[in-house]
């Protein structure tokens, strides 16, 4: 049985990730925890961009919906993590089901603009509805959640919670992409007319993919809100959506593991450079231009293409 290089690297990578807290500082583990959360966010976006060829500038809306829901449940109802997680996923599913009805029949730049507009609608709601969302001040005072275990958990041990959940979600995403459903999505991406002629319900497949991608993004939002202990309008705004798209492009659209690489790089670079410079957003633009010039298929995508050529 033949395995590709990314899959052969998974076992040693998993061992390294498990052992990291024993050799790194709490600050370093905190950064890696954040990077892992955005790995899931980027891979969820790649399900939409890579499998269907539909770039979205509103994907952060579902990240933010999941985060806000978990925060509100934690502050007003219960601190049980699993209830917050289920509620966050459910809210993301509802939001994506509504947005999908409006966006999914479009394609290309039209889909990009529609998702941008819909995402900004949610941003406006979060910004203006101060009594519910805290407005531009966001929601603060979010305590560390309860996991229903007899021993106390802290920020360092939360790393393992994130690692386990993100790993499971990545496995699910890999299964979806390689399943008949995922292959059908790629067929729709390559030739929508041909798939229609073969009898596939193209709109239903695209709608299902849109909702699935949003559900995974909502999980990352729930994980992030308990990591950050705060949620604000920026967590569902265009900057985060653009950052997610850059993660996908940097790693390689449609490679699945490429966006994971892109998320790690962008998250770590953001934390390093934002400490020494104010215009981090400008640096994102420079990175985007350099990637397009030198890695048109992303870093991982370009490496895979050259490997096939050799």
Q: Is 19 exposed, middle or buried (0-12, 13-18, 19+ CB in 10 A)?
A: exposed
* Mean pLDDT for the stretch of residues 90-118: 90
Res 6: pLDDT:
55
Res 58: pLDDT:
92
Which comes out higher in pLDDT, residue 5 or 88? 88
The CATH number that applies at residue 286 is 1.10.3470
**Helix axes of 238-251 and 299-309: crossing angle, nearest 10 degrees:** 20
Q: Which structural domain, as residue segments, surrounds residue 148?
A: 5-20+28-309
Asked if the model's pLDDT at residue 275 lies above 80, the reply is: no
Res 283: pLDDT:
76
Res 223: pLDDT:
96
Res 143: pLDDT:
84
> Closest by alpha carbon to 88, among 208, 209, 225, 213?
225
Res 23: pLDDT:
87
Res 93: pLDDT:
96
Asked if the model's pLDDT at residue 2 lies above 50, the reply is: no
Do 52 and 253 touch, CB atoms closer than 8 A? no
Res 66: pLDDT:
96
For residue 8, name the pLDDT band (cuts at 50, 70, 90). low
Q: Distances in Å between the alpha carbon of 157 and those of 22, 73, 81, 154, 227?
A: 11, 22, 14, 5, 11
Give pLDDT tens digits for 183-208: 999 999 999 899 999 899 999 999 99
Res 288: pLDDT:
76
* Total number of domains constituting the chain: 1
Distance between CA atoms of residues 212 and 24, nearest Å:
35
Give pLDDT tens digits for 40-83: 999 999 999 999 989 999 999 999 999 999 999 999 998 889 99
Give pLDDT tens digits for 108-164: 788 989 999 999 999 999 999 998 899 988 999 888 887 766 555 677 788 999 999
Q: Produce one character per residue of 49-81: b if its CB has 16 or more CB atoms within 10 Å, e if not.
A: bbbbbbbbbbbbbbbbbbbbbbbbbbeeeebbb
Do 66 and 195 touch, CB atoms closer than 8 A? no
Identify the top-confidence range among 2-6, 16-20, 196-200, 254-258.
196-200
Which comes out higher in pLDDT, residue 261 or 107? 261
Distance between CA atoms of residues 288 and 254, nearest Å:
17
Give pLDDT tens digits for 280-308: 777 777 877 887 787 777 888 777 777 66
In angstroms, how far apart are the furthest CA atoms of the chain? Answer: 60
Which comes out higher in pLDDT, residue 210 or 278? 210
Per mean pLDDT, which range of 1-15, 186-200, 208-222 is the poorest?
A: 1-15
């Amino acid at each position: 049985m033949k395995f590709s290089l990314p899959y052969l690297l998974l076992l040693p990578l998993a061992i390294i990730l498990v052992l990291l807290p024993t050799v790194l500082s709490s600050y370093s583990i905190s950064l890696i925890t954040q990077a892992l959360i955005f790995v899931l966010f980027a891979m969820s976006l790649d399900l939409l961009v890579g499998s269907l060829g539909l770039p979205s500038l509103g994907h952060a809306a579902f990240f933010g919906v999941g985060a806000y829901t978990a925060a509100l449940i934690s502050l007003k109802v219960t601190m049980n993590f699993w209830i917050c997680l289920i509620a966050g996923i459910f809210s993301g599913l509802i939001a994506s089901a509504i947005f999908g009805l409006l966006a999914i029949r479009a394609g290309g730049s039209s889909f990009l603009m529609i998702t941008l507009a819909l995402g900004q609608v949610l941003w406006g709601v979060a910004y203006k509805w101060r009594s519910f969302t805290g407005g531009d001040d966001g929601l603060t005072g979010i305590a560390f959640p309860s996991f229903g275990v007899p021993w106390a958990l802290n920020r360092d041990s939360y790393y393992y919670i994130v690692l386990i959940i993100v790993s499971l979600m990545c496995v699910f995403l890999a299964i979806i992409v390689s399943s008949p459903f995922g292959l059908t999505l790629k067929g729709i991406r390559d030739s929508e007319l041909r798939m229609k002629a073969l009898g596939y319900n193209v709109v239903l497949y695209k709608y299902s993919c849109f909702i699935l991608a949003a559900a995974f993004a909502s999980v990352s939002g729930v994980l992030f809100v308990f990591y950050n202990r705060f949620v604000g309008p920026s967590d569902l705004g265009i900057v985060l959506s653009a950052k997610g798209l850059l993660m996908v492009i940097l790693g390689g659209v449609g490679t699945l593991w490429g966006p994971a690489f892109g998320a790690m790089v962008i998250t770590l670079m953001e934390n390093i450079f934002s400490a020494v410079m104010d215009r981090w957003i400008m640096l994102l633009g420079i990175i985007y231009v350099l990637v397009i010039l030198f890695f048109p298929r992303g870093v991982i995508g370009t490496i895979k293409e050259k490997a096939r050529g050799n």
